[in-house]
Chain A
């Protein structure tokens, strides 16, 4: 099925879809998935984009945890990175409604608003002919999502949960787009790490539909994605 990858707007699932499936397996303490606030001042644009994607995924986690203050904190960090990337207009226009929904605890509306914000940011990057940044925002968000979900499944392993990790089409799609990055962006240390880790992740996520990965494999996936995120949040020298 090589070449089947298609459109960012439909082919890569939104974190909300993954979380909806995961929530059906049992009650999850989403607040335990928060991470220590990451740095928001980087000198490399590819690294900013990767971390912007990760922060948006953090936003979904905060919404699942129904933690309004966390949503607002993450929103501020998103604006900081979006400003540095030149796409703050789209985020700022939505930030007041995000804050208002967070204040009122309107979680479904918040999810929709966050998804719309993410898409508008990517659209603005595309319009600025910065397709590389779109790819990196998608990859950053996806990595953070896989890290959180693999951590949850590893800690409460069931075969059903393990099977949920299967995403061969998404890996193909992301790999193809990472390969299309400019040589300059490919050479960024954060991108080099991600591309290297994607190969390891692919081996663990591309399993047959009728076979679940073992608990050890899910743990390994969690370690790989955690390492990747740790590296891409480090400030470059």
Chain B
């Protein structure tokens, strides 16, 4: 069922063309980087790329990534103030949620982050959503080591 859900959601998502970032996306990125920067103290390298856009309550957005077994990852989501509480979660390629240890999850209003080490190399999906609040701009970044 979850797999079907992911297929359906992803099927509607076209490849995002490069576009000029809005002020909101820039602000969301700044918020995400504020938290992701802390992981670099722990030896994580922040990937230069990012994914940004806008999302609304009840309408999560999903991005596909390719991760390598053996590496550790942190995905950090930042959003603009209309979003009062946001969440980020990870799914494997079958649509099964990846278990995140409590000490590898961070949430503070419009910022959320999760960390994990994939068991297998391959495709994963990262879901970002608004738990509380109104439509907002968001930015997702990730770090690895």
Tell me how many residues of B have a C-beta within 8 Å of chain A. 36
A39 interface hit (Cβ, 8 Å) = no
Closest chain-B Cβ to A208's Cβ sits at a distance in Å of 9
B70 interface hit (Cβ, 8 Å) = yes
B121 CB contacts on chain A under 8 angstroms: 21, 163-167, 209
Secondary structure at the A interface, as helix, strand, loop or mixed, is helix
Looking at A8, A16, A127, A209, which has the most chain B CB atoms within 10 Å of its CB?
A209
Whether the pair B7, A11 counts as a contact (CB closer than 8 A) is no
Report which of A24, A111, A170 forms a contact with B66, defined as CB distance below 8 A. Answer: A170
A165 CB contacts on chain B under 8 angstroms: 121
A100 interface hit (Cβ, 8 Å) = no
Whether the pair A20, B144 counts as a contact (CB closer than 8 A) is yes
B48 interface hit (Cβ, 8 Å) = yes
Whether the pair A11, B70 counts as a contact (CB closer than 8 A) is no
Tell me which residues from 14 to 58 in chain A have a Cβ below 8 Å from any Cβ of chain B: 14, 16-18, 20-21, 24-25
A127 CB contacts on chain B under 8 angstroms: 18
B50 CB contacts on chain A under 8 angstroms: 9-10
Report which of B13, B47, B64, B123 forms a contact with A14, defined as CB distance below 8 A. Answer: B47
B100 interface hit (Cβ, 8 Å) = no
Cα-based distance from A11 to B50 in the complex (angstroms):
10
Cα-based distance from A78 to B17 in the complex (angstroms):
25
Which residue of chain B is the closest to A177 with respect to CB atoms? B15
B63 CB contacts on chain A under 8 angstroms: 6-7, 10-11
Interface CB pairs A-B, < 8 A, 8: A4-B11, A4-B64, A8-B49, A13-B66, A17-B67, A118-B48, A126-B17, A126-B18
Binding site for A on B (CB under 8 A): 6-7, 10-13, 15-18, 45-51, 63-71, 93, 120-123, 125, 140, 142, 144-145
| 6 nearest CB pairs, A to B | A9-B49, A169-B123, A21-B68, A4-B10, A126-B18, A209-B120
